[in-house]
Structure 1
């Protein structure tokens, strides 16, 4: 194959769909994977509009299924080289920790964390054999800063951050780079999971939930265009120089990280709670 090969998980919508398109536009052949290939219509329509449909191949992949990942391994044995893996598949579970079950947390980690490991391990033998490859893990600002109502999601992304740091150090000697993209609030983004929390009138967190949902509604107009993230992925995938470990992106993300790393926690805590008090009945 003359073109370089990229694999993108979770390609049916959002960041994954846009990443598949941008990589194809940049010159990659893309294996665009998704759990339900019946949802590939939006991707294929966009690919046709951009005249890159011939470079995008839709594959079925459930990152939480060992059998599905094994099928991917078998398919990849037909390829001599894999240049880029974009671990994008994921979802966000909204809800307060006390009101979530352990099973809820397990489901969150199965996709956002263990699924990443499973797919990465499927491609690593080929990348190692070629002493070349780039792994781009789509994390989140929630992987650096915890937010109320997103404890399961934030925990899974914090785990992804630690895993990626270690993996980068393990794979550097083999010519493989690992990078994290840490988006803030985008129009595809995780905040909808909080927006959609069912409000139980008896919940002790009722005021909290209403405050968060009010904050989300007011902030929707400020959410970024997800094409920014897809463009960054294509840039990292194709740039000649080795990529950095972390790429925070989105309005206010870098300043939030600066404050998190420099201010005492009690000041950050006070600022967040005061902000929410403006919208809800928080004591």
Structure 2
């Protein structure tokens, strides 16, 4: 029986790297894609440590480049099938909306949202022709819950959630499943850009940002192991029955979503703003 094939975007680090390893351990041949394959040293070492390096093929892919995606399509012509796609490539842009240039919002969406669409459109004809497939989109708790100082990232993930809902309904008659994995806070480097936000000394948001950054730092000791998310992705990939649309995962994630579903927004915003103001005095109403 031929081995199943999985494609992972953003595979050189974070969730993408650990998902690549777990999928290979589960028996998939994994096409691990990333902007620069020279950045895959950690992935390669981890694959060798887990004795799955022979099940992983590195391939350069910039999800924002039409030419790069075309090269991936050409490479896939050598494979009998493509059983799974994990759209994981992404980054987090932080800051306050008034001070973030619109070009940076566009850059955030080019990778986190339009990049997902572009890669998915490239893979769908293959999956539809073979009559089966599974697409897992790496979302976030930020795709369901807005947070201050993260509007570009939050907006891109909200867009991904809506796209995935529609896509699932479109593809179900063709034997293709669409799934959203929604992690909370994990030990990955995606928040490095938030910690490194540069702000003018006279910015009216400086004290507010300090509160947010301190709150993020205070919670880092409670961040989960990203391998937990990777194992979930592998389980979904192997699942024989139709998977659910959404899989929230991480400490406090399900509780936050539950509270959002039952509490008035006025109460929710008071809880969030009060939590931030306890760390560093924030803006006054």
So what's the TM-score if we normalise by structure 1? 0.98
Task: Kindly report which structure 2 residues correspond to 1:144-155, keeping only aligned pairs within 5 A, or say none.
Answer: 144-155=144-155
RMSD: 1.0
Give 1:78 deviation, angstroms.
2.0
C-alpha distance in structure 2 between counterparts of 1:146 and 1:186, whole Å:
17
2:176 paired residue number: 176
C-alpha distance in structure 2 between counterparts of 1:40 and 1:279, whole Å:
38
So what's the TM-score if we normalise by structure 2? 0.97
C-alpha distance in structure 2 between counterparts of 1:38 and 1:158, whole Å:
32
C-alpha distance in structure 2 between counterparts of 1:84 and 1:111, whole Å:
20
Gap runs ≥5 in structure 2 = none
Matching of residue 113 in structure 1 with residue 113 in structure 2: yes
Task: Kindly report which structure 2 residues correspond to 1:180-219, keeping only aligned pairs within 5 A, or say none.
Answer: 180-188=180-188, 190-219=190-219
Gap runs ≥5 in structure 1 = none
Give 1:189 deviation, angstroms.
5.1
C-alpha distance in structure 2 between counterparts of 1:205 and 1:123, whole Å:
43
C-alpha distance in structure 2 between counterparts of 1:190 and 1:261, whole Å:
27
Matching of residue 11 in structure 1 with residue 18 in structure 2: no
1:269 paired residue number: 269
1:232 paired residue number: 232
C-alpha distance in structure 2 between counterparts of 1:239 and 1:14, whole Å:
23
C-alpha distance in structure 1 between counterparts of 2:174 and 2:80, whole Å:
16
1:89 paired residue number: 89
Give 1:82 deviation, angstroms.
0.5
C-alpha distance in structure 2 between counterparts of 1:140 and 1:192, whole Å:
16
Q: What SS does the corresponding residue of 2:203 show, helix, strand or coil?
A: coil
Check whether the contact 1:194–1:212 (CA below 8 A) recurs between aligned residues.
no
Task: Kindly report which structure 2 residues correspond to 1:34-183, keeping only aligned pairs within 5 A, or say none.
Answer: 34-183=34-183
Q: Deviations over 1:183-214 (max 9, x none)?
A: 00001054333222124221100111110111
2:249 paired residue number: 249
C-alpha distance in structure 2 between counterparts of 1:274 and 1:46, whole Å:
42
Give 1:256 deviation, angstroms.
0.2
